[in-house]
Amino acid sequence: MSDSNHTPPRTHAIIAGAGMGGLTLALALLKKGYDVDIYEQSPELREVGAGLWISANGAKVMAALGLKEKLERINLPPQDRLIRYWKTGEGKSVYNRDANPSRADHTLIQVLRSELQRVLYEAVVAIKPDAVHFGVRSVGAETVDGRARLLLDDGSHIEGDVVIGCDGAHSRVRQSMFGPAPARYTGALAWRGLTPMDKLKPQHREPLASTWVGPTAHVTTYPVQKNGEMFVSFSAQVDSDTWHTESWSEKGDLADALRDFEGWHPDIIDLFVGSENLFRWGLFVRDPLQAWSQGRVTLVGDACHSMTPYLGMGVNMTMEDAYVLARCLEQGPDDIPAALARYDRARIERANRTKEASLKMFGIFHHPDLAAAATAWPYIDTHWSAQAVRERYDWLLQYDATAVEI
């Protein structure tokens, strides 16, 4: 019988990790005709993290994947975004408030991390119901005889045309490619929590996104919803000489949080006291990578450019990575290594620039001039002027992963 009527097998992508990067990439590749399997070490999707911001650059990816409207239905968009003084709670609106407004879109989609993960997961399994394999632990990846292999902890491997490590800051795929990447403690720790609005004073129920700034700490707050119930999601970063673990899932003690934020406005204290759970972890950095790909293996998101949270760009950079990689693979399924080389050229410089810019924001958010009102307000007026905000964010927000040259 002639083989002329046989459909050639689809290019097969193997993904390590079912987080934001793995699911975004899987959905993009499935929509572009790839066969995709994701291997996730957890036994099921886990609710890790509180809220997150999808900014304009990430929203362009969600729109291209057909998910923006679904996310907007669970979004609680802020009517304004404020910088607040840590002692008094006084705030200043800082976005697009001058005669020369930003050319970038500064709107946000504010959702729970678990809700975004659920939306992505449902979209993936709607196309391929058995795409996600839970309870499978990967330990590395390699290219052998023109094929990519994901190596598993039981000594076996899974073979495909390309392997993508979306397995986070502690990526075993990255380690197998480039060796250990020592993490350096930044001198700051992070807190996060989720507080029901009905436990808070009326001012917390306003649809505002706020960043409270002080001399040694800052706190970001914004509303989110979960199953129709309203919450305030908050994340806080504070200077600390004490070394902490990098795990997002380590529980924090309320007494420690209250010591860290002693003297802060009661509205901030109320958030910590009312939170259903508190989590605390150390903020670490790793040296930027100059290559993400090797043979038929590459990396996405925190696996290749984990960054501090000071610009709020981590998940948005991951979305960009995933979509640009999917475009590169769509254009070059017959030469995977060449497609991955294009991906590296398209993404590494921007990701490393963002990583550096985020770390620099640490010194802006935490500054001695913020200690007293007399010096704090001139400092805020300078560093959160409309021009300063444009210079800080426009180059990030204007990027379009769906159209950028690759």
- Cα separations in angstroms, 153 against 157, 254, 300, 301: 9, 37, 21, 22
| Tokens 């294009």 sit on residue | 342
CB-based contact 279:251 (threshold 8 Å): yes
User: What element of type H or E holds 64?
Assistant: helix 56-64
**Is residue 135 a contact partner of residue 42, using CB atoms and an 8 Å limit?**
yes
| Calpha distance 292→390 (Å, rounded) | 30
Q: Cα angle at 105 between 66 and 309, to 5 degrees? A: 85
Q: How far is CA 377 from the centre of its chain?
A: 30
- Cβ atoms of residues 11 and 35 within 8 Å: yes
Structure-token match 């290749």, residue found: 304
185 is catalytic: no
Determine contact, residues 221/312, Cβ cutoff 8 Å.
no
Residue 404 CA: distances (Å) to CA of 61, 223, 252: 12, 32, 41
Q: Report residue 364: phi and psi, to 5°.
A: -85, -45
Closest listed residue to residue 362, CA positions, set 195, 189, 114, 163: 189
Q: Which residues contact 63 (CB under 8 A, 6 or more apart)?
A: none
- Of 180, 192, 177, 246, nearest in space to 16 by CA: 177
242 class by beta-carbon count within 10 Å (0-12 exposed, 13-18 middle, 19+ buried): exposed
Residue tagged active-site, from 39, 85, 121, 222: 222
C-alpha span between 63 and 323 (Å, rounded): 11
Residues tagged active-site: 222
